[in-house]
């Protein structure tokens, strides 16, 4: 009898442990061989290599996520996700991608951690590439203000993640917010809103080094059947009395904004799924104002996909960045053009082969636009500057999700 009771107790404890959480290990292994060509502009060709090849692991990742049913419609949830850059031996696992803990229920969802904001997530939905990865992503032009700080006397803040020949070149608004909290409403027949706030954890009152950076990002999406429409608005505020030009901020805010500077980003777009094809469009306006200078830039883009076979899909998109519009007048030749053409072939539900060609042309005074999958021009690359640079790339490889 005693042995039976012990066995029943052990079984009960095991059942309770199993009911506590539902954990999933998941990830993406995405590897491509890239052929990159740089032309135009004497600064681009002076002392640098205009053509090179590379292996990119794009948005490869490894993650753990789980939920626990707390009863009464309440669920605890968590996610730890890291980049998995396996094209060299320097990759380390951490929580560099979307990682959070939170609660969900009839009220919606609240999460805290390192988060993709509504602006970033919405633009990724409208990109035509699988996983919004690789050299063909719309990150190439969005939210960058033409990189005007690289040209002396422009007085425009430079911002965005540091980039190299194998790194990501995305704007501040297309990176994740660290130290962030976000609330997402329930879906009302496809209509859903999200609000995210990045805390000013880096605040300091030390004289000569005062710093106070915070941000918020709001999004409203309607996603019902073949129709997707969205509107997002983000604002980053930084106040400081720091002298010098070293970047500062925390997490995604690796940026130099200047004292009492504000950055704003508005995006409006949508897509329609015809079944055999999709059509997408996006309008974005970036604006900086404050103690440095007032300037804004408009970027718009269109894209689409077409299923040529049951397993094969063509992808294409075109994005255009207009000239900077400053408070003192327009600044000519500070825009850029970007286009891509690709093909994706599914070998299974989780594995696809892909090929993508991308072309980006910076205007004469544009210096820091680069492919979304790497190679940023200007302050973060090997001495490349603007001067009418043209960048083209061919990328072929495989993407596997598990």
What CATH number does the domain containing 130 carry? 2.40.160.10
DSSP-derived secondary structure for 190-209: TEEEEEEEE--TT-B--TT-
Q: Is 74 within the bounds of a domain?
A: no
pTM for the predicted model, two decimal places: 0.83
Residues in the chain: 402
Q: Is 306 within the bounds of a domain?
A: yes
Q: Is 252 within the bounds of a domain?
A: yes
* pLDDT tens for each residue of the chain, 402 residues long: 444 444 444 444 444 444 457 899 999 999 999 998 877 765 444 445 567 788 888 889 999 999 999 999 999 999 999 988 888 765 566 678 999 999 999 999 999 999 999 999 999 999 999 999 888 899 888 887 765 433 223 333 333 333 344 445 677 788 888 899 999 999 999 999 999 999 888 777 777 667 778 899 999 999 999 999 999 999 988 776 655 443 333 333 333 444 567 889 999 999 999 999 999 999 999 988 765 467 888 999 999 999 999 999 999 999 999 988 876 655 677 788 999 999 999 999 999 999 999 998 887 766 545 554 333 333 233 334 455 677 888 999 999 999
Q: Is 279 within the bounds of a domain?
A: yes
Q: Is 66 within the bounds of a domain?
A: no
Q: Is 159 within the bounds of a domain?
A: yes
Domain residue limits at 196: 32-57+114-401
Residue with tokens 């993508």: 356
User: 130 near 354, Cβ under 8 Å?
Assistant: yes
- If one counts the domains in the chain, the total is 1
Q: Is 18 within the bounds of a domain?
A: no
Residue with tokens 């490349």: 384
Q: Is 5 within the bounds of a domain?
A: no
- Please name which of 388, 359, 371 lies closest in space to residue 40, comparing C-alpha atoms: 388
């Amino acid at each position: 009898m005693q042995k039976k009771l012990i066995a029943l107790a052990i079984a009960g404890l095991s059942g309770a442990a199993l009911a506590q959480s539902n954990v999933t290990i998941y990830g993406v292994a995405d590897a491509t061989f890239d052929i990159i060509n740089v032309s135009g502009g004497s600064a681009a060709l002076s002392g640098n290599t205009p053509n090179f090849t590379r292996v990119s692991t794009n948005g490869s990742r490894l993650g753990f996520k789980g939920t626990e049913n707390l009863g009464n419609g309440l669920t605890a949830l968590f996610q730890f996700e890291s980049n998995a850059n396996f094209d060299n031996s320097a990759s380390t696992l951490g929580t560099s991608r979307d990682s959070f803990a939170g609660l969900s229920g009839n009220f919606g969802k609240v999460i805290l951690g390192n988060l993709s904001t509504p602006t970033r997530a919405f633009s990724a939905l409208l990109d035509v590439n699988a996983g919004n990865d690789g050299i063909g992503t719309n990150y190439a032009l969005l939210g960058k203000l033409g990189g005007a700080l690289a040209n002396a006397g422009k007085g425009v803040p430079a911002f965005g993640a540091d980039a190299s020949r194998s790194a990501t070149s995305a704007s501040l608004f297309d990176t994740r917010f660290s130290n962030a909290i976000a609330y997402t409403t329930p879906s009302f027949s496809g209509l859903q809103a999200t609000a995210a706030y990045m805390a000013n954890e880096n605040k300091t009152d030390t004289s000569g080094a005062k710093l106070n950076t915070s941000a918020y990002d709001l999004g409203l999406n309607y996603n019902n059947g073949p129709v997707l429409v969205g509107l997002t608005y983000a604002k980053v505020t930084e106040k400081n009395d720091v002298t010098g030009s070293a970047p500062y901020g925390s997490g995604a805010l690796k940026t130099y904004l200047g004292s009492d500077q504000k950055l704003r980003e508005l995006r409006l777009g949508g897509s329609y799924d015809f079944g055999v094809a999709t059509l997408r469009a996006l309008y974005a306006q970036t604006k900086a104002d404050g103690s440095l200078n007032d300037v804004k830039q408009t970027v718009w883009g269109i894209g689409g996909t077409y299923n040529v076979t049951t397993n094969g899909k063509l992808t294409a998109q075109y994005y255009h960045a207009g000239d900077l519009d400053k408070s003192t007048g327009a600044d000519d030749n500070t825009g850029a053009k970007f286009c891509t053409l690709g093909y994706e072939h599914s070998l299974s539900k989780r594995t696809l082969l892909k090929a993508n060609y991308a072309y980006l042309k910076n205007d004469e005074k544009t210096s820091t636009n680069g492919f979304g999958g790497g190679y940023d021009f200007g302050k973060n690359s090997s001495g490349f500057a603007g001067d009418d640079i043209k960048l083209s790339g061919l990328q072929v490889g495989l993407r596997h999700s598990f």
